[in-house]
Amino acid sequence: MRLLGALLPVLAALVMASTAAAADLATLVANLVTGGYSDRDAAITALAASGEARAAPILQALNDGALYVRSADKAVVIAKGSGKQFALTDAITGKDAGTANEDDLERVKINNRLRGTIDAAMGTLTLMNPDPKVRREAAQSLFIRREASSLEALDKAIAAEKDNGIRRAMAQARAAAVLGSDAPSKDKIEAIAIVRDRGDRDAMGVLQAAASSGDAEVKAAATAAADSVRQSLAAWAGAQNVWYGISLGSVLLLAAIGLAITFGTMGVINMAHGEMVMLGAYTTFVVQQVMRSAMPQLFDYSIIVALPLAFLVSGAVGIAIERSIIRFLYKRPLDTLLATWGLSLVLQQAVRSIFGPTNREVASPSWMSGAFKVGQIDVTYGRLWIVIFALIVFASLLLLLRKTPLGLYMRAVTQNRPMAAAMGIRTPRVDALTFGLGSGIAGLAGVALSQIDNVSPNLGQGYIIDSFMVVVFGGVGNLFGTLLGATALGIVNKFLEPYAGAVLGKILVLVFIILFIQRRPRGLFALKGRSVE
């Protein structure tokens, strides 16, 4: 009986509260548009707490400045439209309320503080949204806001949530809210553990805020947790830099690997190598143009169609160059440099005349866009594909050189030309094919680079010096040297960038390579033996 007696007033209060809420959405909305800012602040929270289905659209409209009071009947309406004429929706019923002129309406004004309250209120409202993505975002926004007022809604949402991941996000948001409330220290310390396990930059912010308030025990726990998060964040930042470095390295590798063939094994200084890359990129552009109009449903696979074509185009141009120019200059390597430089100017100008001097747009297929997270590392699909692609190209080239007859001939001609010729290898044909192969790979690189760089006639120029650096650094005539050189330079570059800035970082890398060549004039992995001289 006594228990019942104790419960009765509570029950009564609950019943009263619920009837009041259910009965009068109209009152809540009316409170929203009258009184001072602080009254309305309370009204927003009350509306959000009411759990009404109409609460979300009304608050959204208020936030967007689309909530009006009609001068004629003081009805609260949501207005949509442009110019002077608005289409109206009754805020309370959600039904169409005709149209009105701007002059007949009075906008409900809000300030930044109210906007903040609305954001928080929307967070609690959207926690119950049927769309899991929206729920996750709501939990995230509540985590950042860490307001005690959202605790109740979070508790309700956690109880109802079925998805484990979202429930965890909500629990973290709840922990942040606990830290922002005046809960007992024990609860707060538990909350700190939850927030610490989240371990990202936002968690860091919450912990730092907790460390500057509350009692000593909480402070100590929060400080310790913040330190541990900071350490793990630093480690993740390092890992992120390594990933960026690998990503840059894969681009360098793609650009340089063709050069590793033509320069590394043939000794031809091909300054037009960058233009082979450019031709590959423009092939991608042309393929996309054709596919866009001819078979739009296959547009997502245009890159895959472009790959063999780019290889063929650049390879064919390469063979033509070798047969018409380079073969006359094998005895004069420095002259090849000049002739191929001239060639690069001609190719650039030819492309400029045909396609125009401006950047051409190459679209990314849908499977290359988007990103995901590994721990705290952001990985975009585009970059991931380029890394994978670079490794595939590298592996296939290695297989080609090691396991096929053509590769055998190439190595034989590189090592000892007269002897290879004496054994019946047609060295001129092998030369042409080798040069074509190197150029074709540059074309493949062009397809990949078209995804991350501007497709313009100057595309190739930006890569030529870097490519030579990679090949020389890695060791001429050694493919693994090129792989290692590209990765190392990529990573070093990305680690220097935060300290020195992008440009200075690049300068430092160049100076480093200049000094490195003095120490080891033949690169990281030098060829040994007679072929050196």
Partner 1 sequence: MITRFLWNGMSRNVRLFVALVLAIGIALPLLNQLMPRTSALYVPSYILQLIGKYLCYASLALAVDLVWGFCGILSLGHAAFFALGGYCMGMYLMRQIGTRGVYGNPLLPDFMVFLNYKELPWFWHGFSHFWFAGPMIIIVPSLLALALGWFAFRSRVTGVYLSIITQAMTYALQLAFFRNDMGLGGNNGLTDYKDILGFSVQADSTRGALCFASALALAIFLVISAAVVSSRFGKALTAVRDAESRMRFLGYRVEGYKLFVFVLSAAMAGIAGALYVPQVGIINPSEFAPGNSIEAVLWVAVGGRGTLIGPVVGAFIVNWAKTYLTGALPEVWLFALGALFILVTLFLPKGVVGLWEQLKPRKVRPA
Six-digit token pair at 133? 């993505």
Smallest distance, partner 1 to C-beta of residue 269, A: 6
CB of 336 to partner 1, least distance (A): 8
Three-state SS at 378? strand
22 binds partner 1 (CB under 8 A): no
Interaction between residue 216 and partner 1 (CB under 8 A):
no
Tell me: does residue 503 bind partner 1 (CB under 8 A). Answer: yes
Q: In terms of DSSP bridges, do strands 371-374 and 76-80 run parallel, antiparallel, or are they unpaired?
A: unpaired
Q: Mark 65-104 with x for binding to partner 1 (rule: CB under 8 A) and - for no binding.
A: ----------------------------------------
Contacts to partner 1 from residues 463-482, by CB under 8 A: 465, 468-469, 472
Residues 6+ apart with CB under 8 A from 217: 185, 189
Residue 165 or 342 having the CB closest to partner 1: 342
Per-residue contact flags (x/-) with partner 1 for residues 245 to 284, judged by CB under 8 A: ------------------------x-x-------------
Instruction: Provide the CA 25 distance to its chain's centre, in angstroms.
Output: 44
Residue of 35, 65, 238, 333 interacting with partner 1 (CB under 8 A): 333
Alpha carbon distances (Å) from 402 to 76, 317, 365, 471, 479: 78, 25, 34, 20, 11
Interface with partner 1, residue 197, by CB under 8 A: no
Is-contact 139 104, C-beta < 8 A?
A: no
Between 9 and 521, CB nearer to partner 1: 521
Binding-site member from 128, 329, 406, 492 for partner 1 (CB under 8 A): 329
What minimum distance in Å lies between the beta carbon of 469 and partner 1?
Answer: 6
From candidates 87, 325, 421, 526, binder to partner 1 by CB under 8 A: 325
Tell me the longest C-alpha to C-alpha distance in the chain: 113
280: helix, strand or coil: helix
- Region from 125-133, 174-182, 192-200, 342-350 binding partner 1, contact rule CB under 8 A: 342-350
CB nearer to partner 1: pick between 11 and 502:
502
Which residue, 333 or 428, is less far from partner 1 as judged by CB? Answer: 333
Rounded CA separation 528/477 (Å) = 10
Q: Does 492 bind partner 1 (CB under 8 A)?
A: no
CB 277 within 8 A of CB 348: no
CB of 358 to partner 1, least distance (A): 15
Contact flag: residue 528 with partner 1 (CB under 8 A) = no
End-to-end CA distance of the chain, in Å? 106
Show the 3-state SS of 61-116: HHHHCCEEEECCCCCEEEEECCCCEEEEEECCCCCEEEEEEHHHEEECCCCHHHHH
- Which residues have CB under 8 Å from 226's CB, separation 6+? 204, 207, 208, 211
Contact 282, 395 (CB under 8 A): no
Q: Which is nearer to partner 1, 108 or 471 (CB)?
A: 471
d(CA 131, CA 316): 53
Choices 138-146, 163-171, 367-375, 461-469 (CB under 8 A): range interacting with partner 1: 461-469
CB of residue 511 vs partner 1: minimum separation in angstroms?
6
Q: Give DSSP secondary structure letters for 218-241.
A: HHHHHHHHHHHHHHHHHHHHHHHH
Which residue among 50, 283, 344, 487 contacts partner 1 (CB under 8 A)?
344
510 binds partner 1 per the rule CB under 8 A = yes
Question: Is residue 345 a contact residue for partner 1 (CB under 8 A)?
Answer: yes
Size of the site for partner 1 (CB under 8 A): 43
- Is residue 531 involved in binding partner 1 (CB under 8 A)? no
Tell me whether strands 76-80 and 67-70 are parallel, antiparallel or unpaired.
Answer: antiparallel
Print burial letters for 305-341: b (CB count within 10 Å at least 16), e (below 16): bbbebbbebbbebbbebbeeebeebeeeeeebeebbe
Residues 375-414, one symbol each (x = binds partner 1 by CB under 8 A, - = not), give: ----------------------------------------
Q: How far is the CB of 518 from partner 1 (least distance, A)?
A: 4
Q: Which residues of 232-263 are buried (b: 16+ CB within 10 A; e: fewer)?
A: bbeebeeebbbbbbbbbbbbbbbbbbbbbbbb
Nearer to partner 1, 269 or 306 (CB): 269
Contacting residue, 13, 220, 507, 532, with partner 1 by CB under 8 A: 507
Question: Is the CB of residue 204 less than 8 Å from the CB of residue 233?
Answer: yes
Residue 500 contacts partner 1 per CB under 8 A:
no
Stretch that binds partner 1, among 169-177, 179-187, 446-454, 506-514 (CB under 8 A): 506-514
Residue among 431, 248, 410, 274 at smallest CA distance from 344? 274
**For 266, phi and psi rounded to 5 degrees?**
-95, -20
For 244-278, what is the HEC assignment? HHHHHHHHHHHHHHHHHHHHHHCCCCCCCHHHHHH
One residue of 156, 230, 323, 506 binding partner 1 per CB under 8 A: 506
When asked if residue 532 is in the footprint of partner 1 (CB under 8 A), the reply is no
526 binds partner 1 (CB under 8 A): no
Interface with partner 1, residue 358, by CB under 8 A: no
Q: Does 367 bind partner 1 (CB under 8 A)?
A: no
In the list 76, 195, 210, 343, the residue contacting partner 1 (rule: CB under 8 A) is: 343
Question: Quick one: which segment of 99-107, 154-162, 374-382, 500-508 binds partner 1 (CB under 8 A)?
Answer: 500-508
**CA quadruple 95, 101, 105, 107: dihedral positive or negative?**
positive
Rounded to whole angstroms, the Cα distance separating 303 from 287 reads: 8
Chain residues in the site for partner 1 (CB under 8 A):
269, 271, 325, 328-329, 332-339, 341-350, 352-353, 465, 468-469, 472, 503-504, 506-507, 510-511, 513-515, 517-519, 521, 533
